Amino acid sequence: MSRIIILLLLLTGISCKKYLDLRPDKKQVVAHSLKDYSALLDGARFINIAYPDAGEIASDNLWLTAVDYAALPDRTGQNLYTWGTDVFNDNETNDWTIPYQAVLYANTVLEGLGEIVPDTASTGEWNRLKGAALFFRGLAYYNLAQQFCAPYNSATATTDQGIVLRQTAAISEVSVRASVAATYTQIEMDLTEAAALLPVAQLYKTRPSKAAAFAALTRMALSRESYVEAKRWCDSALTYNNRLLDYNTLNPSAANPVPRFNEEVLFHATGGRGMLVPPVGKVDSLLYRSYAANDLRRSIFFKAAGTGVGFYGSYDASTYLFMGLATDEVYITRAECLARGGNVSAAMTDLNAVLIKRFRAGTFIPYTAANVQEALDKIIAERRKELLFRGLRWTDLRRLNRDPRYRVTLKRVIGNQVYTLEWNSPRYIFPIPENVIRRSGIPQNP
C-alpha cells in the first residue's frame, strides 16, 4: 500500500474516515527514513492527546448541576452523563475513531520499519520506533476495550464480542470484531514486545519507555483480574522508576499545583472534554469529603468551582486531564494485587509509600490492616481518591462490580428526573457509532 498517501493524510490532520474502504496502489510505495517515522510518532494527532473520556464522564467522580447539564453543547455528553444509548453519533471524531487513528499511525510506522534493515548505528533507533508503535497500538486497543467490550470474564471471553483488531495500514482491510479474549491477547502481545524494544529512558515523557510499557501491562492485567500477572508487571515497572512526588513541595495556591512531566510520570497523555473540567465539571461531594484534613490532596486537587468543588490536580498542570501512566498508579495496583494474594503487610507498605507523600509532613499515621478484607477496603478506597479523573474509574467500576463486596448502583438527579446505572447493566458497554456499523457491517453492542 502507499504509505506516502497515508502519511500525507496523517500529517495534514485529515481524518481517515474511510480507513476501511480503500487500498492505494502498492507501486506507489515510497521509502522513508527512521527520522520520518520518528517525526510521525512525535507529531501525530491523538498519540498523546484526546484520549477517550466517555468512561470518565459516565463514572461516579463527576457531578453536574442541572443548569450546566442543560447547557452541554452535544447530546453525546448529556447521554454519557445519564447513561443514555445515543452517543458518538453527533461527531465523526469520537472515542471510537480517535484510538483507531492512533492505530493507523502505529501500523503505518510498523509497515515502514519492516522495509528498513537497520545497520549497527541505527538499530537502537529502529527498536525504539518499533517499540513505540507497538505501545501506541496496544494502548489504543486497551482504551477501546474498556469502553466498547464487555468486562473481561474468563468464562465468556472467547465468545464475547471484542474490538476490530487492525494489524495493517491497509485501508480496505475487512473489519471483523475479534473476541474479548483475542483482543486482550493482542494488547498483551503488543505491550510485551514494546517493553522488550523500548529504551530505559526517553528524551521526552510523551515518548514511551520500558517502565511505561510495563505500567500499561499492569492496567491490562488488572482489568482482566489477573492479579498475579499484574503484580509481576508492577514489579518490572517500578524496577525502572519507583519515584514518588512529595506533595509537601507543591503550592496549593497555584492554579494547577501539580507540575507537568513530574518525576512520577512514566508516559504523558491527556484527554477530557470541557464538561469534565471546572467550572462546569465538579467533583462528587461525598468523594471530596472523604479526604482527611491533613491530606494535602484536599487542597491540591480541589478548589471552589461555582456551586461545588472542581478538580485542579491534573498531572498536565492545566485544565486537560492527565490520562497517562504514573508510578503512584503502579504502587496502588501492586498494593491491591499483594492484598488479594494474602500479603497484607507488603500491601500496606506499598499503599503507605504513596500516602506518606500525600499527607502534611509529620501527620501521617501509616495504615494497617488486620486481614485481607480490611486491606482491600482501604486500598480500593484510596485508589479512587488518588487516581480520580485519569480515565481509570470506569474500568475499576466494571471489574469491581463483578465482586459482590464492591458493587454499586450509580445515580444522577437532574431536576425531578432520576437516572440509575445498575452494577450489571449492559450500559457499561458503550454503543459503537452508528456510521461505523453502517460502513463496516460489524455487529453492534447490546
- Asked whether residue 220 is assigned to any structural domain, the reply reads yes
Q: What is the mean pLDDT of residues 354-366?
A: 98
- Asked whether residue 119 is assigned to any structural domain, the reply reads yes
Domain CATH code at residue 316: 1.25.40.390
pLDDT of residue 44: 74
pLDDT of residue 280: 96
Q: Is the pLDDT of residue 264 over 90?
A: yes
Query: Is residue 142 a contact partner of residue 323, using CB atoms and an 8 Å limit?
Result: no
Q: Indicate whether 268 and 380 sit together in one domain.
A: yes
- Asked whether residue 212 is assigned to any structural domain, the reply reads yes
Instruction: Name the residue with cell 495496583.
Output: 333
Domain boundary among 198, 219, 244: 198
Q: Is the pLDDT of residue 18 over 70?
A: no
Q: Indicate whether 320 and 432 sit together in one domain.
A: no
How many Å apart are CA 13 and CA 45, to the nearest integer? 7
C-alpha cell at 350: 506499598
How many Å apart are CA 101 and CA 93, to the nearest integer? 10
Provide the pLDDT confidence category of residue 3 given band limits of 50, 70 and 90: low
Q: Indicate whether 38 and 77 sit together in one domain.
A: no
Q: What is the mean pLDDT of residues 359-377?
A: 98
Q: Indicate whether 293 and 347 sit together in one domain.
A: yes
Instruction: Name the residue with cell 528498513.
Output: 116
pLDDT of residue 13: 43
Q: What is the mean pLDDT of residues 219-241?
A: 98
Q: Indicate whether 14 and 120 sit together in one domain.
A: yes
Q: Indicate whether 233 and 326 sit together in one domain.
A: yes
Provide the pLDDT confidence category of residue 10 given band limits of 50, 70 and 90: very low
Q: Indicate whether 208 and 330 sit together in one domain.
A: yes
Domain boundary among 183, 198, 213: 198
- Asked whether residue 60 is assigned to any structural domain, the reply reads no
Count how many Cα atoms sit within 13 Å of the Cα of residue 284 in the half-sphere of its side chain: 20
HEC letters along the chain: CCHHHHHHHHHCCCCCCCCCCCCCCHHHCCCCCHHHHHHHHHHCCCCCCCECCHHHHHCCCEECCHHHHHCCCCHHHHHHHCCCCCCCCCCCCCCCHHHHHHHHHHHHHHHHHCCCCCCCCCHHHHHHHHHHHHHHHHHHHHHHHHHHCCCCCCCCCCCCEEEECCCCCCCCCCCCEEEHHHHHHHHHHHHHHHHHHCCCCCCCCCCCCHHHHHHHHHHHHHHCCCHHHHHHHHHHHHHHCCCCCCHHHCCCCCCCCCCCCCCCEEECCEECCHHHCCCCCEECHHHHHCCCCCECHHHHHEEEECCEEEECCCCCCCCCEECCEEHHHHHHHHHHHHHHCCCHHHHHHHHHHHHCCCECCCCCCCCCCCCHHHHHHHHHHHHHHHCCCCCCHHHHHHHHCCCCCCCCCEEEEECCEEEEECCCCHHHCCCCCHHHHHHHCCCCCC
Give 371-406 pLDDT, tens digit per residue: 999 999 999 999 999 999 999 999 999 999 999 999
Pairing of strands 302-305, 308-311: antiparallel
How many Å apart are CA 224 and CA 259, to the nearest integer? 32
Provide the pLDDT confidence category of residue 273 given band limits of 50, 70 and 90: confident
Q: What is the mean pLDDT of residues 109-134?
A: 97
Q: Indicate whether 279 and 379 sit together in one domain.
A: yes
Q: Which pTM was predicted?
A: 0.94
How many Å apart are CA 409 and CA 389, to the nearest integer? 19
Query: Is residue 297 a contact partner of residue 291, using CB atoms and an 8 Å limit?
Result: yes
Q: What is the mean pLDDT of residues 141-152?
A: 98
Q: What is the mean pLDDT of residues 221-247?
A: 98
pLDDT of residue 26: 36
C-alpha cell at 326: 504514573
C-alpha cell at 62: 463527576
- Asked whether residue 64 is assigned to any structural domain, the reply reads no
β-sheet bridge partners, residue 412? 419
Q: Is the pLDDT of residue 70 over 70?
A: yes
Lowest mean pLDDT among 169-173, 284-288, 300-304, 399-403: 169-173
- Asked whether residue 343 is assigned to any structural domain, the reply reads yes
Q: Indicate whether 223 and 257 sit together in one domain.
A: yes
Domain CATH code at residue 100: 1.25.40
Q: Is the pLDDT of residue 12 over 50?
A: no
Number of domains within the chain: 3
Q: Is the pLDDT of residue 4 over 90?
A: no
Provide the pLDDT confidence category of residue 45 given band limits of 50, 70 and 90: confident
- Asked whether residue 270 is assigned to any structural domain, the reply reads yes
Lowest mean pLDDT among 37-46, 230-239, 271-280: 37-46
Q: Is the pLDDT of residue 20 over 70?
A: no
Of 323, 131, 125, give the one whose Cα is nearest residue 214: 131
Between helix 123-148 and helix 210-223 the angle, nearest 10°, is 20
Q: Indicate whether 185 and 321 sit together in one domain.
A: no
How many Å apart are CA 333 and CA 336, to the nearest integer? 5
Question: Which domain covers residue 280, as residue numbers?
Answer: 201-406
Q: Is the pLDDT of residue 5 over 50?
A: no
Average pLDDT, the chain: 93
Instruction: Name the residue with cell 510521525.
Output: 40
Q: Indicate whether 84 and 174 sit together in one domain.
A: no
How many Å apart are CA 47 and CA 107, to the nearest integer? 13
Q: Is the pLDDT of residue 24 over 90?
A: no
- Asked whether residue 61 is assigned to any structural domain, the reply reads no
Q: Indicate whether 28 and 152 sit together in one domain.
A: yes
